[in-house]
Amino acid sequence: MNAENKPLIIIKDLHKSFEDGEILKNISFTIREGDLASIIGPSGCGKSTFLRCINGIELMDSGSITIADVTLERAPGQVPDEKMLDTVHRMRAEVGMVFQSYNLFPHKTLLENVMLAPMVVKGKSRDEARELATKFIDKVGLSGFANRYPSTLSGGQSQRAAIARALAMNPRVMLYDEPTSALDPELVGEVLQVMKDLDAEGMTQIIVTHEMKFARDASDYIIFMDKGEIVEYEDGDILFEHPKNDRTKAFLRHFVNTNPEVAC
C-alpha cells in the first residue's frame, strides 16, 4: 500500500526440518512497515511453522531473520549458544503472537492475562500495567469483561483478548496463526474487524489464514506457500485474478469450488 515505506521484516534463506523431513525450504521475503500480509496454502505446506520461526518458538535450522533492529542469523549446523538465544528473546519483544487456540492463561482473569507480561517482562508496576491493559481491552471491545475468567468467554471474545494481551507488549509486528479457524462462523467477523482496525492504524501484521475473502480484501500482499516454499508473493487482487503458477491456480480453483462465496 505504501511502497515508499521501509522494510520492517527481512527474511533470507530460511530452512527448517523436523524428524520427518524438510518443512521450510529456502524462504526469503520482505515486508514493509504497516503492511498486512496473508499467508495461504494447503494444510501441511509449512505456513504455521514459518510463522512460528519468525518469533523463535521454533528455531530455524539456518538463515537470517531481521525484524526492525534485531537480526537473528544461523549458519547450517550451528549449535545455538547463549548469544543466539538472547537474540531470539530480543526478537520476541518486537513480535506479538496470536494462536489458533487463544492460549489464554486459565488461572487468571482477562485483565490479569493482559497485565502479566508487562509486569513480569517489562517490570511495570501493577498500576501502570492495569492502565495499559484496560486501554487495550477497551480497544478490542471487551471493556465489560475485564474481570471474567477465560472459561466464561466466547471464542471470538477469547481471541480478541489474546490480541489485547499481545498488543500490551507494544510489538512492532503482529503474527496470527489461523486466528479464526477455531471460531464459530458468526464470531469470525469481530476478530477480523480488530485486525482491520489495527491495519488502519499502521500496525504491521502477518496472518496465516483460510479466510480467502479477508485475505483478498484486507491484505497488501498474499503469500501462497506449498510444500515448504513460497510459490507466489503478490498483491491480493492480482494473485486471485491472475495467478501465474499452476500450483496457485489449482489451489485457488479447488478453494473457489468448495467455497463459492469467495468467487469474484
Partner 1 sequence: MKKMLLVLLAIAVLFTGCVQPASAAAQKELRWGGDSEGGFPYMFPNPANPKELIGFEVDIVNEIASYLNMKPVYINNAWDNLIPGLTRHMYDIAIDGLEITPDHEQVVNFSIPYYRTFLQLAVRKDEKNIKTLEDCRGHKAGTLKESYSAEMLRQVGGVDIKTYIVEANTYEDLANGRVDAALFDFPIALYSAGFNPEIKFVGAPIGDLKYGIAMRKEDKQLQKDINGALVFLRDSGKLREIYDRWNLWTPTMAKEFNDYSPSKVEPTRYNDWAENHRPVLTFQKRLERYAAVMPQFGRAAIVTMQVSITAMIIAIALGLFLAITRVFASRLCASLATVYIETVRGTPVLIQLFFIFYGLPSIGIKFSPFWAGAIGLGLNYAAYEAEIYRSGLFAIPRTQWEAALALGMTRWQAMREVILPQAIRIVIPPITNDFISLLKDSSLVSIITMVDLTKTYGQISAAYYDYLGPGILVAVIYLLLGLPFVRFARYTEKRLAAMDKDSQHGHRENIYRSSTRYL
The site for partner 1 (CB under 8 A) is made up of: 55, 57-59, 80, 85, 89, 92-93, 95-97, 99, 101-107, 116-117, 120-121, 149-151, 162, 165-166, 169, 182
Nearer to partner 1, 44 or 80 (CB): 80
Q: How far apart are the first and last CA of the chain?
A: 21
Nearer to partner 1, 86 or 217 (CB): 86
Determine the Cα–Cα distance for residues 203 and 140; give it in Å rounded to an integer.
Answer: 14
Measure the CA–CA gap between 32 and 215, rounded to whole angstroms.
17
Provide the minimum distance between the beta carbon of 15 and partner 1 in the complex, in angstroms, as a whole number: 16
Grid cell for residue 62:
539456518
Which residue in 88, 108, 106 sits closest to 97, CA to CA? 88
With respect to partner 1, which residue has the nearer C-beta, 162 or 231?
Answer: 162
H helix or E strand, kind and range, residue 23? strand 21-32
Phi, psi angle pair for 233, to nearest 5°: -145, 100
Instruction: Write down the least CB distance from residue 10 to partner 1, Å.
Output: 21
> What is d(CA 134, CA 164) in angstroms, rounded to the nearest whole number?
9
If we measure between CA atoms, which residue out of 1, 193, 166 comes closest to residue 92? 166
Q: Which amino acid is at 243?
A: P
Closer CB to partner 1, 58 or 229, in the complex = 58
Q: Could you say which DSSP state residue 11 is in?
A: E
Minimum distance from residue 87 beta carbon to partner 1 (Å): 13
Residue 227 beta carbon to partner 1: minimum distance, rounded to whole angstroms:
23
Q: How far is the CB of 107 from partner 1 (least distance, A)?
A: 5
Q: In the complex, what is the shortest distance from the CB of residue 250 to partner 1, in angstroms, rounded to a whole number?
A: 31
Closer of 90 and 210 to partner 1 (Cβ): 90
Of residues 90 and 213, the one with the C-beta less far from partner 1: 90
Among 178, 238, 203, 208, residue whose Cα is nearest residue 36: 203
Cell numbers of 52, please?
A: 512460528
